Structure 1
Amino acid sequence: MAGCDHHTVARYVKLREAGQSPQSRTHRARPIDEYLPKIEELVARSGGRVRADVVHRRITAMGFLGGERTTRRAVAEVKARFQAGKRRVFRPWIPEPGLWLQFDWGEGPRIGGRRTSLWCAWLAWSRFRVVIPTFDKTLPTVVACLDATLRRIGGVPAYVLTDNEKTVTVEHVADIAVRNPQIVEVARHYGMTIRTCVPADPQSKGGSENTVKIAKADLVPTSANLLEDYRTFAELETACRRFTDDVNSRVHRETRRRPAEAVGEERVRLHPLPARPFTVAFGTTRRVNWDATISVDGVRYSVPHQLVDSRVWARFHGDELIVTAVGETGPAEVARHLRSTPGRPSITDAHYPPRAGKDGDRTPRANTAAEAAFLALGPGAAAWLVEAAAAGTRRVRHKMAEAVALAKLHGVAAVDQALGVAAVAGRFADNDLIRILAHQAGADNGEPIRASETHSLQPGTSAWANFGTSSGRNL
């Protein structure tokens, strides 16, 4: 019935009579057991990452005669015991409203071959996220992003948790982080405390790590999301703003609430936000001149024309000049120029409003009733006036009045078309407009006459047939 040898049955019966479990089996000695201490040493020294084939080569050199399959089983058992003793167990973190804000950096998309970074902030209790694109991760940029984040949230939390970058932590002494004095001054200005995670331990700030992962998945073009490349930095800013609006208006899986609604409740627990942002790190102040430029080291740099007669901050970062302005939503970068030299101003056309015309040209604008009646004919009339004035045409006003009178007979569309043809062909003489109108009217009645092989406009030689005759002499 058992399908096995009677000795096996006798052994199980003996175990039952002795009160032992039949399932328990005594460990039998294996040839690899004497090499287990070496295997445990190799696994511990590698942190549980050593490969079984590497271990097999080591113990074979020591005299092991078994196969690689036996070594793989032994290494798997040792690794399992090692991981069981090293496994980290976390107590669930239950955040309180108004206490923690976390931020981290993510690699952004390239714009014109230039690298960008994504500032990713996460308010722990309400799960409210803020993503801001930047060109660098310097201390002024960190301060600007932090101020913009706090103003979107509407308050200041008690603690801010981030990574150990040089803008926050200068060095570690006996595993104690030494803060950057400037970031401490920034935290004192806003009334909060800067904390940093354990170095090289991203699990200690998982909230911001997930924010970076989600933001990169939706904003950085990859083969998975099929996003197109960003042509300008403004397009990336618009995409980041749209992304934050979407994730904050979506019901969160953990809290079953929309972060945009939960942050309103958490805002009651936040500290009040200072009316003036921290501007010391933005550089030196400059007044914007009437021509939308500032002067730095004797060189003029342009800024957006909306900032005329206002104050901005300018600083050099490497070979670039960065201009920062403080608006209703906090500080923001408004211009960036390559460092120039005196006598060579750096002007960006995008900082100025579009011009109505080029090279001194102006769009016709009516100042009298007669001019308004003529320009009302259409774009052909405006083109005719511009070209006729440039050609020095005489009696322009008389010809304009004549065109208005002809429009009553031939129609506005026909006269406007004729004026456009006259402007292109340079026909501004008297009666030229009437001839063009007559040609247009005749062209509509039939096909135009075209030269062919059977008909020619060249004069013939028939008049020379009677040359030298009496009739020819009479002629």
Structure 2
Amino acid sequence: MEILRAYDLTQTVWSAAQLSGVDPKTVQRYLNARDSGRNPFERARRPKAIDPYLDKIEEWVDESKGKIRADVAHGKLAAMGFGGTERSTRRAVAEAKTAWKAGRRRTYRPWVPEPGMWLQFDWGEGPRIGGRRTWLFCAWLAWSRFRVVIPVWDCTLGTLTWCLDATLRAVGGVPTYLLTDNAKTVTVEHVAGIAIRHPEMVALGRHYGCTVATCVPFDPESKGGAEATVKIAKADLVPTSANLLAHYDGFADLAAATRQWCERVNQRVHREIGTRPLERLAVERGLLHRLPEQPYALALGERRHVEDDQTIRWGSVRYSTPPGHAGTQVWCRVAGDELVITARTGSGPAEIWRHRLSTPGNPRILAEHYPGHPDGRAVLAPRPRPRSAEEIAFLAIGDGAERWLIEAAATGASRVRSKMAHAVELAALLGPGLVDQALGMAAAAGRFADGDLASIADHLAAGRAAIEVVHADEAHSIQPGTSGWQQFGR
């Protein structure tokens, strides 16, 4: 600008050059660029050795629809007599591809969804738990941006149906369309570009009153929302070196993490809509269809009755269920080499347990399903049930009396009833608390002789401390020791 201002002042090239401190040729070059309307900083293209071959390069790029590689084009040019370097060819091919793509670039129209119309879902690979692969079922309502993420062990047809039912119950209704990718669980095949829908998905749509649709392959308008949900969920839930998440100890930890994540993102202001998705969901629920009371059968599997012993039968094999489901109906389905048991809970159908498939004669009975039956042997250790007045009076002394009766019966002690009556008399004289403690010590030490209870009670009544009970077994002996002889002769 100083050069041009100096020329406008003097109207002489030599004078402008002296004022601005540059060569007169530089002044003349800037004047010519300004007079021709060109950018003064843009130099004119110099002739290159590859210029005679540019038409051929453009022809190759057009015929290949921009797919030809620069090294392939250089080989052809070298055979035609081009003696330049491959670097020159790469630059020429890149310029030709840029010019060819100009005007052919696909334009996208922004998708403006309607409330109550679209729910999109897709799968994402979750973290490994105990070396086992997990999956994240990710769904979102396109208008309200409300997201639902459910962790599962597999992405089979039954699991997909169960996830869809859980998602619809989480959003509180059914939209008009369920949009997803062309997985084999949704689309069986394509014929002439037309997706052939899976029969079970068609039946699912009839059950819930919606249409299961699939997106066009490689189409960002129909795939972008669901894939963005998967990407965000994986970034926040799958442990990586970037998010510094710790590995999950169990599947329950992953399920808790997904619930917390959904609560956080649905209560956070969304950048696109400028409000919280949870608030928009309250509006969109008014336009969603009503959910059927019963889920689609494929989502849960086959119905089974839980017997009083908390077991079900599947393939002539008994499988135990967690407490609280005896006498109810559950649903079972096979996923890989596991039997999935689903029951109805306060928040809807939920998976309550998974068993490894077994064979007839090898039941799957887990000890954690029977917390009130230690070691599965509660039948061999019945609880006392007093019937007569004497039995009621004895067991009313306390827990020590109950332990004394159980241990005395197990050791085959004689005259148990008379000893119980004697204990009731001692309780009347010395108090039930002291006698109960004495009965507990007698049961622990295995002392059931006639005078043992009175001896222990006298010991406690005298205010002496209760010493540690020593049992006569392989580790402890009642024989007098020889430690007293160690000092003999010293």
8 Å CA contact 2:61–2:68 kept in 1: the answer is no
More divergent stretch after superposition (391-400 vs 89-98) = 391-400
Q: What is the Cα deviation at residue 215 of structure 1?
A: 2.0
Q: Counterparts of 2:135 and 2:233 in 1: how far apart (Å)?
A: 11
> Which of 353, 362, 365 is the aligned partner of 1:347?
365
Q: Which amino acid aligns with 2:411?
A: A
Q: Which residue matches 1:391?
A: 411
Tell me, yes or no, if structure 1 residue 112 matches structure 2 residue 136: no
Q: Counterparts of 1:109 and 1:193 in 2: how far apart (Å)?
A: 31
Report sequence identity in percent: 53
Q: What is the Cα deviation at residue 66 of structure 1?
A: 4.5
Q: Which amino acid aligns with 1:250?
A: R
Q: Which residue matches 1:374?
A: 398
Provide the secondary structure at the position in 1 that maps to 2:398.
helix
Provide the secondary structure at the position in 2 that maps to 1:306.
coil
Residues 421-432 of structure 1: pairs in structure 2 closer than 5 A: 423-429=443-449, 430=452, 431-432=454-455
Q: What is the Cα deviation at residue 120 of structure 1?
A: 0.8
Q: Which amino acid aligns with 2:275?
A: R
8 Å CA contact 2:154–2:335 kept in 1: the answer is no
8 Å CA contact 1:12–1:22 kept in 2: the answer is no
Tell me, yes or no, if structure 1 residue 238 matches structure 2 residue 261: no
Question: What are the Cα deviations for residues 330-374 of structure 1, in whole angstroms up to 9, with x where unaligned?
Answer: 444344333333333333444445426753335778974553443
More divergent stretch after superposition (311-320 vs 108-117) = 311-320
Q: Which residue matches 2:162?
A: 144
8 Å CA contact 2:311–2:320 kept in 1: the answer is yes
Distance change (3 Å), C-alpha of 1:110 and 1:363: farther
Distance change (3 Å), C-alpha of 1:205 and 1:386: same
Distance change (3 Å), C-alpha of 1:398 and 1:218: farther
8 Å CA contact 2:304–2:329 kept in 1: the answer is yes
Question: What are the Cα deviations for residues 51-92 of structure 1, in whole angstroms up to 9, with x where unaligned?
Answer: x78877886677655556655655654565466556544333
More divergent stretch after superposition (66-75 vs 97-106) = 66-75
Q: What is the Cα deviation at residue 189 of structure 1?
A: 1.7
Q: Counterparts of 2:322 and 2:97 in 1: how far apart (Å)?
A: 62
8 Å CA contact 1:374–1:400 kept in 2: the answer is no
Q: Counterparts of 1:329 and 1:442 in 2: how far apart (Å)?
A: 53
- TM-score normalised by L of structure 1: 0.76
8 Å CA contact 2:394–2:421 kept in 1: the answer is no
> Which of 195, 206, 209 is the aligned partner of 1:188?
206
- TM-score normalised by L of structure 2: 0.74
Q: Counterparts of 2:75 and 2:464 in 1: how far apart (Å)?
A: 97
> Which of 443, 450, 456 is the aligned partner of 1:433?
456
> Which of 168, 180, 185 is the aligned partner of 1:162?
180
Q: Counterparts of 2:62 and 2:429 in 1: how far apart (Å)?
A: 100
Residues 65-464 of structure 1: pairs in structure 2 closer than 5 A: 65-66=83-84, 70=88, 73-74=91-92, 77-78=95-96, 80-81=98-99, 87-201=105-219, 204-280=222-298, 282-327=300-345, 329-355=347-373, 359=377, 360-361=380-381, 368=392, 370-375=394-399, 386-393=406-413, 396-397=419-420, 400-401=423-424, 404=427, 416=437, 423-429=443-449, 430=452, 431-434=454-457, 437=460, 440-441=464-465, 456=484
Distance change (3 Å), C-alpha of 1:122 and 1:386: same
Q: Which residue matches 1:33?
A: 51
Q: What is the Cα deviation at residue 116 of structure 1?
A: 1.6
Q: Which amino acid aligns with 1:295?
A: R
Distance change (3 Å), C-alpha of 1:328 and 1:456: closer
Q: What is the Cα deviation at residue 157 of structure 1?
A: 0.7
Question: What are the Cα deviations for residues 210-229 of structure 1, in whole angstroms up to 9, with x where unaligned?
Answer: 22122223322333444443
Q: What is the Cα deviation at residue 441 of structure 1?
A: 4.5
Q: Which residue matches 1:466?
A: none
Distance change (3 Å), C-alpha of 1:11 and 1:456: closer
More divergent stretch after superposition (23-32 vs 111-120) = 23-32
Q: Which amino acid aligns with 1:433?
A: I
8 Å CA contact 2:149–2:258 kept in 1: the answer is yes
8 Å CA contact 2:394–2:401 kept in 1: the answer is no
Q: Counterparts of 1:350 and 1:40 in 2: how far apart (Å)?
A: 74
Distance change (3 Å), C-alpha of 1:49 and 1:149: farther
Q: Counterparts of 2:87 and 2:426 in 1: how far apart (Å)?
A: 101
Q: Counterparts of 1:44 and 1:365 in 2: how far apart (Å)?
A: 95
Q: What is the Cα deviation at residue 174 of structure 1?
A: 2.3
Distance change (3 Å), C-alpha of 1:348 and 1:192: same
Q: Which residue matches 1:471?
A: none
8 Å CA contact 2:124–2:135 kept in 1: the answer is yes
Q: What is the Cα deviation at residue 286 of structure 1?
A: 3.2
Q: Counterparts of 2:486 and 2:410 in 1: how far apart (Å)?
A: 37
